[in-house]
Amino acid sequence: MSVTAAAGFRAAGVAAGVKSSGAKDVALVVNDGPLSSAAAVFTANRAKANPVLWSQQAIAGGSARAVVLNSGGANCFTGAFGFQTTHQTAERVAERLGIGAIDVQVASTGLIGVGDEAFRAAVLHGVDLAAEALAADGGEDAARAIMTTDSVPKQAVARGADHGAAASGGRWVVGGMAKGAGMLAPGLATMLVVLTTDAAAPADVLDRALRAATRATFDRLDSDGCMSTNDSVWLLASGASGIEADEAALTAAVTAVCDDLAAQLQQDAEGASHDITIEVTGAGTEDDAVVVGRSVARSNLFKAAIFGNDPNWGRVLAAIGTTDAPFDPYAVDVSFNGVRVCHAGEPDRPREEVDLAPRATRILIELHAGDAAATIRTNDLTHDYVHENSAYAS
Amino acid sequence: MSVTAAAGFRAAGVAAGVKSSGAKDVALVVNDGPLSSAAAVFTANRAKANPVLWSQQAIAGGSARAVVLNSGGANCFTGAFGFQTTHQTAERVAERLGIGAIDVQVASTGLIGVGDEAFRAAVLHGVDLAAEALAADGGEDAARAIMTTDSVPKQAVARGADHGAAASGGRWVVGGMAKGAGMLAPGLATMLVVLTTDAAAPADVLDRALRAATRATFDRLDSDGCMSTNDSVWLLASGASGIEADEAALTAAVTAVCDDLAAQLQQDAEGASHDITIEVTGAGTEDDAVVVGRSVARSNLFKAAIFGNDPNWGRVLAAIGTTDAPFDPYAVDVSFNGVRVCHAGEPDRPREEVDLAPRATRILIELHAGDAAATIRTNDLTHDYVHENSAYAS
């Protein structure tokens, strides 16, 4: 049920004083092999944190033996000193584990601009502590050490379902942990995800599986339309199961874990009172469906209406009308929690029939312009969101 | 100081029962000529209200004798019945004034989906009342009749400054009124603006002047990133001054009135506690500067930070990093109310030096990538914004 669910991985999460609260703040995940193939996806933001700048280069060869992550500071826009901090962190991990620094991926999360001498000293101290604490059941500690505004740790696991092995529930595992309440691009807060598998797979297979999975999961979680400087998602394979995974089965398992973690991120989004699933059907292409769904997910007026339990379909149509996806705005049907309140661009069922009291909220937008569909996850815009994000830095 | 400041115009604002509150809800602005040249800019939203669909067609010839506007209902996504309501409204105005319906522009504002039989009857009744009440000093009443969530009417005036006439303060006038707390594209709520001038100018000159003015004013007011279905801005010329306006002078006067009205809209934006001016300098092109400024204006995290009096420059850099405007994110300077808190992508002055208590907030973003600049206006994201927009429909 964690980043150590797959064989061949150890992890740790320790309190090293990066956070002033004394909570766990440094996590280490180690791949003991025999393989060290790895893939990663990083934020599309051009303003990238120092650990992202490092990790992008270090993983270019498709290999990684460890991921070290800290909360309590993003080490972003901290200049040459901050990049040196990241480099020193990788070197310290390498030294403790007897591997090369190039095989160490680094992640940081917290406030932008935080990364001074004290930060550096605490993170390096955390590496020492974490290296001592590494354990085959350390996944839960690691998941806790990467939390910032998260109220709960996020972990998920899926068993491989290779041909012939499906009946037995699969013989390899994909496990993972996540923090944040956002998405890869964009993201509410920094989203960090580490996925591990004991299946045997080369880096190019991992890369394709990871990109396919994130595209359909984290990329469609749009909590508040903001894109982080630190978002990173890793997939590490140890091959410890001795089984070469079928690529389709691996992709399915990785996608299942990502989907589970994305749902956990959505449910823990800062200040949210509704988890909104926006399903767009009848689009010309899947990309069109995503664009349409995202336009609604980014409408503050729509999101505030959901907070107020108001099935305001006018705000849905006003949002999708700003896209250039091919459809006729006057042919669209919109349903809130199963009640079609707008048919062919005109009022349909009375809004009083819609019950928006449950946290889980389902919006269905039928474009009647094709056969493609996509689902976007978002949250409502609440007083608590404003409060948490106006008070976060203080 | 209003839409009747220019000679040749009469206006009225009456209470006709469109609003259940009994407040004024139908406005009529009439151009008595001798000219009837006119130009307009409408929402870029593909989901357009019925009055926009009508007015776009009716103004194609560059002429308009009257604009009739109602609050209390947007008449958007109300189907064929709603379009007939708009058409009947134009015909009723035409009948009362003895002009052609094609010379009548129509605008509506309020909730999407509102436009039933009772709405139609009330609006038509309002036309009758307004036609009776038309007066050369009716601008103030008209400005009040188009208010929805506005707390104050918005009016502005500028005197023409033609060559040779500048010393006397100009011999023609541009006046206007506005409602809403948003922008042309996008807009927070429906923004309706009627500008009048007694200068003599053909429709093509009015069109160029209006587009230049709105591009630099309303198009750069981005209160909450949402685009309305009803936004419309008109410029009507009566020619009653008998003076043919120099195009540059007319553009300058129209821009001045639009800028004044845009500032009034910003200051009355729903729930806002800060009026934020985002100035972007050192951009490669003016369009780049607008894109960069808009990315910040649309960041909920940035806007919530300002509400919390937090000079969170990290959220500024995270926002501008999502654009593809050419600049180096690690070379950027960011100042809050005159204090440079980020220099060359690293922390500069302490955040404690920044005073964000005043309502007027000035963000300066120096890109160091060229000579172009632009200014975007927005507001903070507050508890009151969430409240007003979650409770608006109830």
Nearest CA in chain A to B317: A47
B38 contacts B59 by C-beta, under 8 angstroms? yes
The whole-chain average pLDDT of chain B stands at 90
Sequential pLDDT tens for chain A (394 residues): 799 999 999 999 999 999 999 999 999 999 999 999 999 999 888 888 999 999 999 999 999 999 999 999 999 989 899 999 999 999 999 999 999 999 999 999 988 888 899 999 999 999 999 999 999 999 999 999 999 888 899 999 998 865 544 444 458 999 999 888 654 444 434 688 999 999 999 999 999 999 999 988 888 887 777 777 888 889 999 999 999 989 999 999 999 999 999 888 888 887 889 999 999 999 999 999 999 999 999 888 899 999 999 999 988 998 898 899 999 999 999 999 999 999 998 899 998 999 999 999 999 999 999 999 999 999 999 988 888 878 654 3
With beta carbons under 8 A apart, name residues in chain A contacting B391: 308
B302 contacts B308 by C-beta, under 8 angstroms? no
Q: Which of A72, A70, A81, A77 is nearest to A106 (CA)?
A: A70
Positive or negative: CA dihedral B184, B374, B270, A347: positive
Instruction: Give the model's pLDDT for residue A224.
Output: 72
**Which residues have CB under 8 Å from B215's CB, separation 6+?**
none
Question: What average pLDDT does range B43-67 have in this prediction?
Answer: 92
Within an 8 Å CB–CB cutoff, is residue B188 touching chain A? yes
Question: What average pLDDT does range B230-246 have in this prediction?
Answer: 91
- Catalytic, B322? Answer no
Q: Where along chain A do its domains lie?
A: 9-267, 275-391
Domains A9-267 and A275-391 are alike in CATH topology: no
Q: Angle at CA A233, nearest 5°, toward A231 and A234?
A: 145
Question: What average pLDDT does range B146-163 have in this prediction?
Answer: 84
B276 contacts B380 by C-beta, under 8 angstroms? yes
Cβ distance B321 to A228 less than 8 Å, yes or no, reads no
A157 contacts A257 by C-beta, under 8 angstroms? yes
With beta carbons under 8 A apart, name residues in chain A contacting B111: 314
Q: Name the burial class of residue A247, with classes exposed (0-12), middle (13-18) and buried (19+) by CB atoms within 10 angstroms of its CB.
A: middle
Size of interface A-B (CB pairs under 8 A): 191
Is B179 a known ligand-binding residue? yes
With beta carbons under 8 A apart, name residues in chain B contacting A322: 44-46, 186, 227
Question: What average pLDDT does range B196-203 have in this prediction?
Answer: 94
Is A309 a known ligand-binding residue? no
Instruction: Give the model's pLDDT for residue B392.
Output: 52
Cβ distance A386 to B304 less than 8 Å, yes or no, reads yes
**Which residues have CB under 8 Å from A250's CB, separation 6+?**
A160, A174, A197, A199, A201, A205, A206, A209
B117-126 as b/e, with b when 16 or more CB fall inside 10 Å? Answer: eebbebbbbb
B161 contacts B254 by C-beta, under 8 angstroms? no
| Residue to test with chain A: of B76, B112, B324, B361, most A Cβ within 10 A | B112
What is the architecture of the domain spanning A9-267? 4-Layer Sandwich (3.60)
Instruction: Give the model's pLDDT for residue A181.
Output: 64
Within an 8 Å CB–CB cutoff, is residue A53 touching chain B? no
Domain A275-391 is classified in which CATH homologous superfamily? Answer: ArgJ beta chain, C-terminal domain (3.10.20.340)
H/E stretch holding B290 reads helix B286-297
DSSP string for B257-279 = HHHHHHHHHHHT-TT-S-EEEEE
> Is residue B185 over pLDDT 50?
no
Task: Look up tokens 């709960």; give the residue.
Answer: A152
B4 contacts B10 by C-beta, under 8 angstroms? yes
Amino acid letter, residue B253? A
Distance from CA of A311 to the nearest CA of B (A): 9
Q: Which of B78, B321, B344 sits opposite A47 (nearest CB)?
A: B321
- What are φ and ψ of residue B314, in 5° steps? -60, -35
With beta carbons under 8 A apart, name residues in chain B contacting A298: 225
Distance from CA of B294 to the nearest CA of A (A): 13
Helices (H), chain A: 50-58, 79-97, 117-133, 139-145, 203-216, 247-267, 286-297, 300-307, 313-320, 383-391
Q: Which of A74, A156, A190, A85 is nearest to A127 (CA)?
A: A85
Is B50 a known ligand-binding residue? no
Cα separation of A184 and A150, whole Å?
A: 16
Distance from CA of B287 to the nearest CA of A (A): 19
Which is higher by pLDDT, B391 or A153? A153
Cα separation of A157 and A171, whole Å?
A: 13
| Residue to test with chain B: of A85, A109, A112, most B Cβ within 10 A | A112
Q: Which of A220, A109, A233 is nearest to A177 (CA)?
A: A233
- What are φ and ψ of residue A90, in 5° steps? -65, -40
CB atoms inside a 10 Å sphere around CB A287: 12
Nearest CA in chain A to B299: A226
